[in-house]
Amino acid sequence: MSIKKVVVFNTVSQLFGKAISGGITFIISLLLAKTLGVEGYGDFTKITTYVAFFYLFCDLGLNAAFLQLSKDEKLIHMKSSLFTVRLLLGLLLMFITLIILVFLPGSATQGYTQFVKMGIIIFIPSILFQALISTTNAIFQEHLRYDLATYALCAGSIGTLILVWLSIFLLSPNVLLFAIIAAFLIGSFMTAGLSYVLIKKVTKLPVIFWDPKSVKQLLKAAAPLALTLIFNVVYFYANTFILTITQSTLDVGIYGLAYKFFEFTLVIPTFFMNAALPTLIESYVKKDMMVFRKRILLSAIALTGVAVGVAILGWIFTPLLALIRPGFAASILPLRLLITGLPIFYLTSITMWILVVTKKQKELIGIYGITMVLNIALSLLCTPTYSYMAAVWITIGTECFVLASSVAVIIKSGIFRLQLDTKK
């Protein structure tokens, strides 16, 4: 199969899986918004957003490092080393999540209430499942078999939908939110378990095994990207956290639903780059700059076109949010503003990985470090006064800064100039 067909196959596999899982998540979101109301959905958002914040620390650049090192025949235990490190990381993150939870501010009606904290405790084990899912995805990516990851994702999503539906129709309102959180936890477990089993179709199952040499190489290669991703995660979630502790649960619910639908659209560039990354690494390692540059330009054109199309559709259909419950009509404007910035978000997914592949991690760390500080400062200054609208504009504005800074570094690096010289 040609490189082009491989990228298309894996991208389509992921998109197909996300279309199903995203469609199911969409249905679940509608059910929850309709059943729980704006404030109930606000509590659900607080619980899932807090735990999901730690999901992103499960990566820490380990997958990208694994892809770069997996071809080294001397590191024969790399898969098991990745598996072992991830499980330890997942357990550590669960512990950190619990410790931080104790100190989170909240009253009887605002912030992280005791009710919300109990829901978070129920949901915390999903961090370990996410660590396993991230590991299996790296192996599927190495073998260009994202179709297998799709099967596991769909199974977990369907399981979650069934359990949520049963909870809504069978349980009393007093325990409903906890049951829904448990349903999401079980769905995550199903995805993780099936993903691990499906690895047998492409390679041997990874096991818990501590190989100091492989672990050292893996952590060393992942360190620069890990710091970048930490900055990225913090800046991406800072305004939501500050909104939670400074504004009412009603505002959190309004912003939470808008941001949930916005997140659906962000999976497209993620999946596209998951499929394209191995080919970018290959062409750069071979110093085939003509092919490398061509793939970058084609990726940018494709993702920009998709982003514009998704944004247009989003503007047309966002008024339907008011049909869920009248209170969610307030989510229309923030969602429209967020999806207007989609081309920016799609392009930064490309520029970030260009800098990773071309070993410009120090510059990448600087960009996201500054962005994180900028985001937190603006959120602390503006969110208490302007609520979720401040969160929207800060999210878009800081992403513009990331894109502009990344493009400046890429141009300065001479990647495109080197290509022109090579052609001559």
What are the pLDDT digits (tens) for 380-394?
A: 999 888 898 999 999
* Per-residue confidence (pLDDT) for residue 97, from 0 to 100: 92
Residue 11 has pLDDT above 80, yes or no: no
Kindly state the average pLDDT of the residues 43-66.
83
pLDDT of residue 81: 82
280-295 pLDDT per residue, tens: 777 887 777 787 888 8
pLDDT, tens digit (0-9, with 9 covering 90-100), for 133-142: 988 888 887 7
Measure the CA dihedral 141/277/72/359, to 10°.
-150
Residue 392, pLDDT score: 92
Give the pLDDT score at 113.
86
Q: 162-182 as b/e, with b when 16 or more CB fall inside 10 Å?
A: ebbeebbeeeeeeebbbbbbb
Average pLDDT, the chain: 83
Mean pLDDT confidence for 85-98: 92
pLDDT for residue 4 is more than 60: no
Residue 182's pLDDT is 94
SS3 of residue 345 by DSSP: helix
Residues 261 and 203: their CA atoms lie apart, in Å, by 36
pLDDT at 422: 43
In percent, the amount of the chain with pLDDT more than 70 equals: 90
Question: Does 117 or 358 have the greater pLDDT score?
Answer: 117
Spatial distance between the Cα atoms of 398 and 394, rounded to a whole number of angstroms: 6
Looking at per-residue pLDDT, the higher value among 279 and 12 belongs to: 279
Domain ranges in the chain are: 3-423
Record the pTM: 0.69
Half-sphere exposure of 204 (CA within 13 A, CB side): 8
Cα–Cα distances (Å) from 173 to 47, 167, 413, in that order, read 17, 10, 58
- Judged on CB neighbours under 10 Å (0-12, 13-18, 19+), 412 is exposed
Closest CA to 293 of 414, 152, 158: 414
